[in-house]
Structure 1
Amino acid sequence: MALISYIISQTQLPEHSVKNTVSLLNDAATIPFISRYRKEQTGNLDEVQVGDIVKYKDQYETLEKRKLAIIKALEDQAVLTPELRQKIETTLELTTLEDLYLPYKKTRKTKADTARQHGLEPLAKSIMSQNAHDINAIALKYTNKDLSSSEDVLEGARHIIAEWINERIDIRNSIRLQLERFAIISTKAVKSKIDDENAQKFRDYFDWEESLNRIPSHRLLAILRAEKEGFIKLKITIDDDKALSKIEARLIRSQNACTTHILIAAQDAYKRLLLPSLSNEALQLAKDKADASAIHVFAKNLKQLLLGSPLGEKRILAIDPGFRSGCKVVCLDRQGRLLHNETIYPHPPKNESIAAIKKLSTLSETYNIEAIAIGNGTASRDTEAIVKKVPFKNDVQIFVVSEAGASIYSASKIARDEFPDYDVTVRGSVSIGRRLQDPLAELVKIDAKSIGVGQYQHDVDQTKLKKELDAVVESCVNAVGVNINTASASLLSYVSGIGPKLAENIILYRNEHGAFTSRNGIKKVPRLGGKAFEQSAAFLRIKDAKNPLDNSAVHPERYDLIKHMAKDLGMRPEALIGNQDMLQKIDLKKYCTDNVGLPTLEDILKELEKPGLDIRKPAKVFAFEQNIKTIHDLHEGQQLPGIVNNITNFGCFVDIGIKESGLIHVSNLSDSFVKDVNEHVSLQQHIMVQVLEVDVPRKRIQLKLQK
């Protein structure tokens, strides 16, 4: 099968692993399900490897779809020869495929088309044969009312030759190779825009030159954005003389009267057709590469953020801080349900700090508050200072929580459906509180691009970005597992095999019939058939179920196997859960079958030791330096605590408790060479930094990581 061979050539994975994985994918299995519960069939491939198979399967199918479209177009034009069909069907490169189709594309009328209409193609062939001697005399035979001289005729013939040169795959590949190796990207400022305030952030690129194949992704994306906004002009260049000499070497076989016209046509083809087209192609390839790099960074950041530390089911008082408009306060129960909301005004201009402290104390006591979540936006530090003055009667932890994307959620349809009777300020505060309880459950409601953990996310290919980020969210949701009785439709929609429509059906069924008491009960949800149950059941958790395995990652299809194990040990299955002494006595090889091997059995045993264990670390309180309130409080040499709030290829950004985040450039992460920023820091990590430089006018802070 050509598909299997193609995937193997790209991934170097074993044939049986690829075949079985493709078969499972064709049977509507998801990446989390395949990598978790079909290890024997895939040869124990992990999510990344299964994801690679999905990627190259999609690439191959896209290529095949394009081949069919091109073949049909050529058949419609009656120009498809057996030789051309074979070339199309055997190519594995989309670029080569488009080159094969180039001579037959229906585009606007060209200079060569006009020359053909004047009957000049035979003359062009004579010149290309390089056998004609008196070419001017031959050209005179083609003159007419539109072509009054031999020079007019020869110019038309050269247009045809230029088009032939442009369509030659070997020549196009020669120019491609030179662009790939030697292309230079250079920029110049648009003089009329230099003084524009918005242009200043791109001033480094007002006069820039760099090798296209070495330019970092973030720099290329910045340059492309600057060009798009009209602040600079860019061009891609190579050594023209070298490129032309390589073209000429492929064309010229003798020196005679034809040679001059071929050389003129070659120069025309290069400057008018080849270089503009292929330099744009090279720039697009560089952009695709930069997109892939930026998307990869975004995906890694998003994964870390989604798997951020949850506080768990605690009663939360959440505050969305503000000065003039006040601080929006909400109280949430342990399941994140809204119990109370109001506004306090502890800051200027009202300065009702004493009343605010009393109110927070009363609310804390009334609703048995266990933790306070304060948004990290405007007035965050001032609000934190007020909260720390509250004389709480019980032990209340205080957390500062990222507000990124909270305003997007609060104005969304999801938020309006959840809280139709409350305005955006209340919804935003609820989101801040729920993020502390469970970051994953809350952040899945927000468009990932709005969470603020990427670089140039609005400049990259949006289709590819969405696909990659959706895969990350799906991976995280299924890695953690979902409580089916408390999960939102947004969270449920990412569970393997569920999707948005079934998620809505689950919510409707839950609202009508009450909480699910067993995994088998999930089968009663309308339109949730056997395949969806197979894919989703092990990722859905049911707390306090009669069968404790329903709150574990053990798939229901393996419950009988566990009963068998327990029976062999002379005990009930539930008595086996958490019983490490008895679990260690199990000889796994005894239970191996054609369908169940050691990888699956080892996973089952690990889950039985600590069923439903959350893979995420618990939340910890973090304290910023209290004397740092604004950028003006910073000076060189200070050592401060901070939280990593974004990671890029060129370094990481750190929240040090003020409006502006500081940058630890990649060169300041370590004294040795840094290949991957993620090897030194992780998102939401608590670190110590040293202030290297403070640029107040540009609001830029340079930091160094302190080990």
Structure 2
Amino acid sequence: MAQTDSAPVQARIAQTIARDISAAPSQVSAAIGLLDGGATVPFVARYRKEVTGGLDDTQLRLLSDRLSYLRELEARRETIVNSIREQGKLTDDLARSIAQAESKATLEDIYLPFKPKRRTKAMIARENGLEPLLRAIQEDRASAPETLAEAYVTEAVPSVKDALNGARDILTEELSENADLLGRLRDFMRTEAFITARVVPGKEEAGAKFSDYFDHREKWADIPGHRALAILRAAKEEVVTMEIAPDPETGEVRAIGIVATVLDTSAGRPGDLWLRDVARWAWRVKFSVSLYVDLLGELRQRAHDEAIKVFARNLKDLLLAAPAGPRATLGLDPGIRTGVKAAVVDATGKVLETATLYPFQPKMDLRGAQAKIVEMVKRHGIDLIAIGNGTASRETERMVAETLKLLPQGVRAPTKVVVSEAGASVYSASELAAREFPDLDVSLRGAVSIARRLQDPLAELVKIEPQSIGVGQYQHDVDQRRLSQALEAVVEDAVNAVGVDLNTASAPLLAQVAGLGPALAQAIVAHRDAHGAFPSRRALMEVAGLGPKAFEQCAGFLRIRDGKEPLDASSVHPEAYELARRIVKNCGRDIREIMGQPSVLKGLRAEDFVTETFGLPTVRDIIAELEKPGRDPRPSFKTAQFTDGVEDIKDLKPGMSLEGTVTNVAAFGAFVDIGVHQDGLVHVSQLADRFVKDPHEVVKAGDVVRVRVTEVDVARKRIGLTMRKQSGPEDRAPKGGSAPRGKGKPKAPQPPRADGPENGALGAALRAAMKPR
């Protein structure tokens, strides 16, 4: 990321980012220096707090994103200045305007008059000598423009009308290149524009899933991202036509008035009237079109940002879900015709046994399947049974529940857990899975993944491309490069927040550790296979290709249990080991006795151990780590207990209280698996007894929650749920928000349809389309 920005440019970038992330310019400059020097975000956030003043990983990620944008902006600013200078048209005022531009859009507005362009109507009019006619009309408003135009009729300009049209073309181009006017109109549109969608006649049936938007009107500034993406998709599929424009009755007149003010047409003379007609023409032919494109781009960007943010937060919650831990697990990948795939893994995740069971149609070998499960539970001491949540999940869960009743006395029944199998099939067919299980059938690899992701979701999910995990809304509609960057950052931050066991981690997990990557991860695994377990962190330096810089970045995030150096099992960085030993020495005890004994460390004052190298934040982190070495930030493992007798949507009745697991969180609410094949929706207004702006304030993916059924629509497979404690008429879940529809009149709010576009990847009916299985 190293750059050679000039000092003024660096200062300008630092000040801009400082405002964006609520920090001081000095903090930003320090962080930029570290990132440009090759440091990673997790390393800077954890081990360079003194340098950055304590910027956290969220601030640093935003800083990194904004840094790229602003450097592109500065490069474009320099290109524009050089281009205008080469044309001999750079003035002090123009240079000042360019220097003060804070966005790419503003820069491009300023550059428009100087930008090389194709031959335009205005150019042709100038070539035909019509610019003096325009100036004459502007200067002599009392004369009729038609009279003035008579003097400009030539062979190239055969009529008065042609002359006036040429003058109009010149003025329209000049107006369209007026940066100040463009900025005012863009601000006006951002405030006043409506986005309108109308169904294309004849597409009602084919586009039924977009029916909420067949006659929809909403303020551009207020429309939430998920609705914008739904309309954009409907327009792309040619189900609806879309318009972004001010109110046709009042807004358009005001927009034309803004254009006219530049021309000062208030006096009402013949020339003023002609100029006002040009303003109207310019708005309808030029500005309304170009601003539609601008606002469409901004809307798409805004919606993409929101969708990516939702996906990233859901992915983080999923990655940091509670691990069941090192317990023998039976993974079941449900299926009907092809059978239920079974895989037993031991506490370390090693595959012990696989099988295919056929308890359902067409073979109906229920007894055989049950006998096999009982046998595997007894033989391997199974602690947990992980059941994938795909097709036949509930049937498989019922079968397992009945099977556990058949266990002989004295054999403890395992705990059964329904596990998200999103991306399991993608992993099963991947090159990584083929290398990991070369002798295992593709279909059985999914069962292994399901078992392992219950033991340690993070360690297993890092093997799958983040997009394939599918916890986003409209993930296939957004900018895939930006989505990939955001999700990769989430994975990296999650892995480094938890830490990685150097001697047991897979190459995909190691690849996410700060400072490493696929090549070094493979080199570490190869060295481990050839020479045995690493005795210490320092031994990493023996790995081919792993130099001092990579060691600095990764060492603190790697753990070695029961090694030569006790601190290797903690998040204390090797560079601070001497400081940690000095802190321990102050307690007068052996380091192994101190670690994990908070009471021994209670009397220490962090201020007493500050040095020139290590400030107060690092000292506090070391003491906290000594109190709970290698602590895992993830929550304790807990499973939802589904209500007996409730197995299908038909079993649900309004008022029922159920326990479920949050499967996904969107801008408009949360989806909860309550054990009936179809996730229910808790609308954002039903998440709590208070106003909730963002559903993530209340729930996250993986949470076990208590919900109450408010509505059941069996035909459309829609389940309305509430988490509110109070009851009454207001308890019925609103259906999708209160956006104005039709001709500005709000309809009764509609909920996101379980099979409709508003759910994106979230509705069960669209799940297969939105996220690979």
Using the size of structure 1 for normalisation, the TM-score is: 0.95
Partner of 1:344: 357
SS of 2:221's equivalent in the other structure is coil
Quote how far apart the aligned CAs of 1:257 are: 4.4
Does the aligned pair in 1 maintain the 2:638–2:704 contact within 8 Å?
no
The answer on 1:500 being equivalent to 2:518 is yes
Quote how far apart the aligned CAs of 1:287 are: 2.6
Quote how far apart the aligned CAs of 1:137 are: 5.3
Deviation string, structure 1 residues 668-703 (Cα, Å, up to 9, x no partner) = 223332222223323212222222222222211111
The answer on 1:211 being equivalent to 2:219 is yes
Q: How does 1:4-403 map to 2 (within 5 A)?
A: 4-74=14-84, 79-81=89-91, 83-130=93-140, 133=143, 135-136=145-146, 138-196=148-206, 199-238=207-246, 239-252=251-264, 256-388=269-401, 389-390=403-404, 391=407, 393-403=411-421
Question: Take 2:371 and 2:504, find their aligned partners in 1: how far apart are those partners?
Answer: 33
Question: Take 2:333 and 2:481, find their aligned partners in 1: how far apart are those partners?
Answer: 33
Question: Take 2:437 and 2:134, find their aligned partners in 1: how far apart are those partners?
Answer: 74
Q: How does 1:387-426 map to 2 (within 5 A)?
A: 387-388=400-401, 389-390=403-404, 391=407, 393-426=411-444
The answer on 1:600 being equivalent to 2:618 is yes
The answer on 1:445 being equivalent to 2:463 is yes
SS of 1:192's equivalent in the other structure is coil
Partner of 2:547: 529
**Greater shift in the superposed pair: 411-420 or 241-250:** 411-420
Does the aligned pair in 2 maintain the 1:452–1:646 contact within 8 Å?
no
Quote how far apart the aligned CAs of 1:191 are: 1.0
What amino acid maps onto 1:331 in structure 2? V
Partner of 2:749: none
Does the aligned pair in 2 maintain the 1:645–1:653 contact within 8 Å?
yes
Partner of 2:497: 479
Distance 1:567 1:631, change over 3 A: closer
Partner of 2:579: 561
Partner of 1:434: 452
SS of 1:433's equivalent in the other structure is helix
Distance 1:358 1:45, change over 3 A: same
SS of 1:340's equivalent in the other structure is strand
What amino acid maps onto 2:584 in structure 1? A
Quote how far apart the aligned CAs of 1:403 are: 1.0
Quote how far apart the aligned CAs of 1:415 are: 2.0
The answer on 1:690 being equivalent to 2:703 is no
**Greater shift in the superposed pair: 199-208 or 450-459:** 450-459
What amino acid maps onto 1:230 in structure 2? E
Does the aligned pair in 2 maintain the 1:562–1:573 contact within 8 Å?
no
Distance 1:423 1:258, change over 3 A: farther
User: Identity, % of aligned pairs?
Assistant: 43
What amino acid maps onto 1:243 in structure 2? A
Distance 1:107 1:631, change over 3 A: farther
Deviation string, structure 1 residues 272-313 (Cα, Å, up to 9, x no partner) = 111111122123223322222222222222111111010112
SS of 2:381's equivalent in the other structure is coil
Deviation string, structure 1 residues 541-571 (Cα, Å, up to 9, x no partner) = 1122111211111100111112223334444
The answer on 1:463 being equivalent to 2:481 is yes
Which residue of 598, 623, 626 corresponds with 2:641? 623
Distance 1:72 1:446, change over 3 A: farther
SS of 1:124's equivalent in the other structure is helix
Deviation string, structure 1 residues 490-523 (Cα, Å, up to 9, x no partner) = 2222211112332222223223333222100111
Does the aligned pair in 2 maintain the 1:397–1:621 contact within 8 Å?
no
**Greater shift in the superposed pair: 226-235 or 83-92:** 83-92
Partner of 2:733: none
Quote how far apart the aligned CAs of 1:38 are: 1.3
Distance 1:209 1:369, change over 3 A: same
**Greater shift in the superposed pair: 667-676 or 170-179:** 667-676
Question: Take 2:127 and 2:521, find their aligned partners in 1: how far apart are those partners?
Answer: 62
SS of 1:29's equivalent in the other structure is coil
Question: Take 1:119 and 1:512, find their aligned partners in 2: how far apart are those partners?
Answer: 84
Quote how far apart the aligned CAs of 1:476 are: 0.9
Deviation string, structure 1 residues 611-645 (Cα, Å, up to 9, x no partner) = 11211123224321232222222232322221111
Question: Take 1:543 and 1:395, find their aligned partners in 2: how far apart are those partners?
Answer: 31
Does the aligned pair in 1 maintain the 2:332–2:387 contact within 8 Å?
yes
SS of 2:723's equivalent in the other structure is strand
Quote how far apart the aligned CAs of 1:706 are: 5.4
**Greater shift in the superposed pair: 432-441 or 568-577:** 568-577
**Greater shift in the superposed pair: 370-379 or 394-403:** 394-403
Quote how far apart the aligned CAs of 1:324 are: 1.2
Using the size of structure 2 for normalisation, the TM-score is: 0.87
Question: Take 2:517 and 2:89, find their aligned partners in 1: how far apart are those partners?
Answer: 46
SS of 1:193's equivalent in the other structure is coil
Name structure 1 gaps, 5 residues minimum. none
Distance 1:617 1:11, change over 3 A: closer
Distance 1:706 1:249, change over 3 A: closer
Does the aligned pair in 1 maintain the 2:598–2:628 contact within 8 Å?
no
Q: How does 1:633-672 map to 2 (within 5 A)?
A: 633-672=651-690
Question: Take 1:128 and 1:513, find their aligned partners in 2: how far apart are those partners?
Answer: 87
What amino acid maps onto 2:45 in structure 1? S
Deviation string, structure 1 residues 96-153 (Cα, Å, up to 9, x no partner) = 1010112233444332232233232333333344468465455344433332112212
Does the aligned pair in 2 maintain the 1:166–1:270 contact within 8 Å?
no
Question: Take 2:639 and 2:18, find their aligned partners in 1: how far apart are those partners?
Answer: 48
Question: Take 1:212 and 1:514, find their aligned partners in 2: how far apart are those partners?
Answer: 61
SS of 1:191's equivalent in the other structure is coil
**Greater shift in the superposed pair: 511-520 or 561-570:** 561-570
Does the aligned pair in 2 maintain the 1:444–1:473 contact within 8 Å?
yes
Quote how far apart the aligned CAs of 1:592 are: 0.6
Deviation string, structure 1 residues 358-414 (Cα, Å, up to 9, x no partner) = 111222233332221111112222222222324162452222111112122222232
What amino acid maps onto 1:252 in structure 2? D
Quote how far apart the aligned CAs of 1:72 are: 4.5
Does the aligned pair in 1 maintain the 2:680–2:718 contact within 8 Å?
yes
Partner of 2:737: none
State how many pairs are aligned: 705
**Greater shift in the superposed pair: 243-252 or 77-86:** 77-86
Distance 1:243 1:487, change over 3 A: same
Question: Take 1:51 and 1:297, find their aligned partners in 2: how far apart are those partners?
Answer: 16
Quote how far apart the aligned CAs of 1:590 are: 2.2
Does the aligned pair in 2 maintain the 1:642–1:689 contact within 8 Å?
yes
Distance 1:639 1:57, change over 3 A: same
What is the root-mean-square deviation in Å for CA atoms of aligned residues?
2.2
SS of 1:626's equivalent in the other structure is coil
Question: Take 1:70 and 1:561, find their aligned partners in 2: how far apart are those partners?
Answer: 53
